[in-house]
Amino acid sequence: MEMYIGFCQFSVCWGDKERNFKKVENLFLEIKEIKSLKIIVLPELFSCGYLFLDEKEVSKFAEKVEGETYYFLRHLAKNYNSIVAGGFLERDNNNFYNSALIVAPEGDYLLYRKIHLFKDEKDIFEKGNLKLNIFNYNNLKIGILICFDYFFPEAARTLAIKGAQIICHPSNLVLPYAPLITQVRALENHIFWILANRIGVEKRGDKELKFLGKSQIVSPKGEILMKAEDEEVLKVVKINTEEANNKKVTDKNDLFLDRRREFYEI
């Protein structure tokens, strides 16, 4: 299946959902002339920002699954004929999660909670407690991970084994080698990878983070098909999803059929 996939990279305004939503919608105007189905990925926690100083702040911006961010993503999906993925701060009773949604034009969605928490996130969020699953939409098989999850090859491999052709990767990356590792993840699983990072600096209290940008789309062969530097931008590229169904490295080697699980200790 031929289709467009892309990322939306921008500087998130901490605590200002309305402004962030407006920024994203303005960037989506770049694809208004593309009428066919698309997959677009937004950054981690794109609606509210990343650095929280205490539980009171977290509670203020947290949402139920079908909250403000879900309805905004649903609006984008419907109006731009897109499958849209992006991160949000989720409230589930008294628990808070660094979560993300994949939302289809009809409003169907997949919820994912980040399972590998990075640094100070461990002081704020609960560990994700949902299994790694596939969003199946009209024979498209889409997986999702959040930021630091990329550091764990088991996560991407699990999604690939479950049939993922494309992995959406909403991120707030600060480590410089992250884009390279996501290239490797795409290659070692023969899948498409959409890395959507943010840019800018976020400073709150005595904490400060600079986000590196460098969003990119990677092919099943590990090739960078499209990338950004540190600009606010929405970029897309046309792909053929069938390429992700071919797991052969040579005519005698298949990435999945050649696995020797009897020798693996993890």
* Nearest in space to 191 (alpha carbons), one of 245, 119, 147, 125: 245
Q: What is the pLDDT of residues 199-252, one digit of tens each?
A: 999 999 999 999 999 999 999 999 999 999 999 999 999 999 999 999 999 999
How far is residue 115's CA from residue 5's CA, in Å, rounded to a whole number? 25
Q: What is the pLDDT of residues 55-106, one digit of tens each?
A: 899 999 999 999 999 999 999 999 999 999 999 999 999 999 999 999 999 9
Residues 195-200 have a mean pLDDT of 98
The per-residue pLDDT for 265 is 87
How far is residue 106's CA from residue 115's CA, in Å, rounded to a whole number? 27
The answer for residues whose C-beta is within 8 angstroms of residue 132's C-beta and 6 or more apart is: 112, 115, 143, 155, 158, 159, 162
pLDDT over 90, % of the chain: 98
Which candidate in 8, 48, 147, 168 is catalytic? 147
The per-residue pLDDT for 161 is 97
Say if CB 133 and CB 110 are below 8 A apart.
yes
Annotated catalytic residue 265: no
The per-residue pLDDT for 54 is 87
Task: Report the chain's terminal Cα–Cα distance, integer Å.
Answer: 35
Q: How confident is the model at residue 39 (pLDDT cuts 50, 70, 90)?
A: very high
**Pairing mode, if any, of strands 224-227 and 166-170?**
unpaired
Q: Is the pLDDT of residue 49 over 80?
A: yes
The answer for residues whose C-beta is within 8 angstroms of residue 196's C-beta and 6 or more apart is: 7, 8, 9, 41, 42, 43, 85, 86, 168, 169, 170, 171, 215
The per-residue pLDDT for 58 is 94
The answer for residues whose C-beta is within 8 angstroms of residue 64's C-beta and 6 or more apart is: 90, 91, 92
Is the pTM here over 0.95, yes or no?
Answer: yes
The per-residue pLDDT for 187 is 98
Say if CB 98 and CB 45 are below 8 A apart.
yes
How many domains are contained in the chain? 1
How far is residue 211's CA from residue 137's CA, in Å, rounded to a whole number? 32
Give the domain CATH number at 146.
3.60.110.10
Annotated catalytic residue 147: yes
The per-residue pLDDT for 3 is 98
The per-residue pLDDT for 266 is 77
Cα-based torsion angle of the residue sequence 21, 181, 235, 162 in order, rounded to the nearest 10 degrees? -80
Q: What is the pLDDT of residues 22-33, one digit of tens each?
A: 999 999 999 999
Which candidate in 17, 38, 44, 202 is catalytic? 44
Whole domain around residue 251: which residue ranges? Answer: 2-263
Burial zone of 18 (CB within 10 Å; 0-12 exposed, 13-18 middle, 19+ buried):
exposed
How far is residue 37's CA from residue 34's CA, in Å, rounded to a whole number? 8
The per-residue pLDDT for 55 is 87
Which candidate in 17, 23, 114, 235 is catalytic? 114
Annotated catalytic residue 114: yes
Q: What is the pLDDT of residues 136-188, one digit of tens each?
A: 999 999 999 999 999 999 999 999 999 999 999 999 999 999 999 999 999 99
